[in-house]
């Protein structure tokens, strides 16, 4: 087990190193280069040369990469030029990270709570109208562009019906106390229940939009997996032994069918980050996703490099954790 974890950790370090190299090369090959990105196209040659020297761009490329890595390890990615001009890019990342984590967490909980039971029910009622309807429904969910769905939800439930807030994470008039950066958790910790409830209301629409694709994926994996397991010999044995339906469903079918679902949930983190870019932009949610969207619009490369690097690292770490969890549940994985 320890060897398995160590091997995966080493692999992860390798991936992160290559990734840093890619982000570094990407920054250097952006149109006009870093200098134009910061100073604009019309800067005087003297100013360009000065900035080039200040950024170390006159050094050989491997020296530049080494400097980039050293600065990255210290969290120095330069100042933002577009998202919040002048402030430190890494600070922007740290401030906005909790918002996206909170939103993604809500979305994945929604997706799991709907996807697993519906997937199980669809498999048990195979080839009925319920099965066909939910399968086609989940496929429609995948076919709708996420940002369009977000617009629809916002237009209908926030602007027309006024049921839920239009944008943001919390009503600024509430003047809630900040502890962790997770607004719902903050509200609960400080017992400001109205603040927590307000944060939840702000989460519902973006989380719904964000949850569609993970829901569709979890639903279909659960359905396929339950269908597979239902035909296994041990389920037939359990049935012929006369075990109650409840025991067969819970212990024999669901527990075995959920193994692939666990991996899928881990793989969804990348998709959640992408979805967050689109939904947060629509709802002006103030998380990482919105920062990335604005950074691309305004070419804020300082913020982009942090976000791309950290998004990829988050994805790799979460999948490492999922793999370890999987190895704990299923010993066969370890020997691979």
Partner 1 sequence: MPPSLTPRGKKQRIDDLAASSGSGSAVGTAVDEVSVDDAGYVEETAGVSLIASAWRRLRGNPVFLLGAGITVLFVLVAIFAPLIAPHDPTAGLLIDKVRKQTNPIPGPQAGFPLGADDSGRDILSRLIVGSRQTLVVGVCATVFGFAGGLTLGTLAGAFGGWVDSVVMRAVDVMLSIPSLLLAVSIAALAKQPSQWTVIIAIATVQVPIFARLLRGSMLAQRASDHVLAARALGVKRSAIVFRHMLPNSLGPVIVQATLVIAGAIIDAAALSFLGLGNPDDRQPEWGQMLGAAQQYIYDYPALAVWPALCIIVVALGFTLMGESLREALDPKTRR
Residue numbers of the site for partner 1 (CB under 8 A)?
Answer: 11, 14-15, 18-19, 22, 26, 29-32, 132, 135-136, 139-140, 142-148, 151, 155, 159, 228, 270-271, 273-274, 277-278, 281, 292-293, 296-297, 299, 304, 307-308, 311-312, 315-316
Provide the minimum distance between the beta carbon of 298 and partner 1 in the complex, in angstroms, as a whole number. 9
Q: What does each C-alpha distance from 119 to 48, 52, 256 come to in angstroms?
A: 59, 57, 14
Are the C-beta atoms of residues 9 and 1 closer than 8 Å to each other? no
CA distances from 189 to 19, 178, 193 (A): 38, 10, 9
Least distance in Å: CB of 290 to partner 1? 11
Least spacing, CB of residue 172 vs partner 1, in Å? 22
**What is the closest distance, in whole angstroms, from the C-beta atom of residue 311 to partner 1 in the complex?**
6
On whether the CB atoms of residues 108 and 268 are closer than 8 A, the answer is yes
Q: State in angstroms the smallest separation of the CB of 316 from partner 1.
A: 5
203 vs 311 by CB, closer to partner 1: 311
Considering the complex, state which of residue 151 and residue 326 has its C-beta at the smaller distance from partner 1: 151
CA angle 298, 303, 308 (to 5 degrees): 110
Cα–Cα distance list, 283 to 168, 290, 298 (Å): 6, 9, 18
If DSSP codes are grouped into helix, strand and coil, which group holds residue 235?
Answer: helix
In terms of CB distance, is 170 or 212 closer to partner 1?
Answer: 212
The smaller minimum CB distance to partner 1, of residues 26 and 234, is found at 26
Output DSSP code: residue 174. Answer: G
Of residues 155 and 197, the one with the C-beta less far from partner 1: 155
């Amino acid at each position: 087990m320890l060897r398995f974890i160590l091997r995966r950790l080493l692999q992860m370090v390798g991936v992160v190193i290559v990734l840093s190299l890619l982000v570094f090369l990407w920054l250097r090959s952006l149109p006009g280069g870093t200098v134009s990105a910061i100073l604009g196209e019309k800067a005087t040659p003297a100013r360009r040369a000065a900035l080039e020297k200040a950024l170390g761009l006159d050094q050989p490329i491997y020296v530049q990469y080494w400097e980039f890595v050293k600065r990255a390890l210290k969290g120095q990615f330069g100042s933002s030029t577009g998202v919040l001009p002048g402030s430190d890019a890494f600070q922007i990342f740290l401030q906005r990270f909790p918002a996206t984590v909170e939103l993604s967490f809500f979305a994945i909980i929604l997706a799991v709570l709907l996807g697993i039971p519906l997937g199980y029910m669809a498999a048990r009622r195979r080839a009925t109208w319920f099965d066909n309807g939910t399968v086609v429904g989940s496929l429609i969910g995948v076919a709708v562009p996420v940002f369009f769905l977000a617009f629809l939800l916002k237009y209908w439930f926030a602007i027309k019906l006024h049921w839920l807030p239009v944008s943001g994470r919390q009503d600024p008039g509430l003047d809630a106390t900040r502890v962790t950066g997770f607004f719902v958790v903050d509200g609960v910790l400080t017992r400001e229940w109205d603040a927590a409830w307000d944060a939840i209301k702000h989460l519902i629409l973006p989380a719904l939009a964000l949850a569609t694709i993970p829901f569709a994926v979890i639903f279909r994996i659960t359905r396929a997996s339950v269908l597979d397991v239902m035909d296994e010999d041990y389920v037939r044995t359990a049935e012929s032994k006369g075990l109650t339906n409840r025991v067969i469903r819970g212990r024999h079918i669901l527990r075995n069918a959920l193994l692939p679902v666990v991996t899928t949930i881990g793989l969804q983190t990348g998709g959640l980050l992408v979805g967050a870019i689109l939904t947060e932009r629509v709802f002006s949610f103030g998380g990482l996703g919105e920062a990335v969207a604005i950074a691309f619009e305004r070419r804020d490369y300082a913020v982009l490099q942090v976000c791309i690097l950290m998004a990829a690292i988050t994805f790799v770490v979460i999948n490492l954790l999922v793999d370890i969890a999987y190895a704990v549940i299923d010993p066969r994985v370890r020997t691979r």
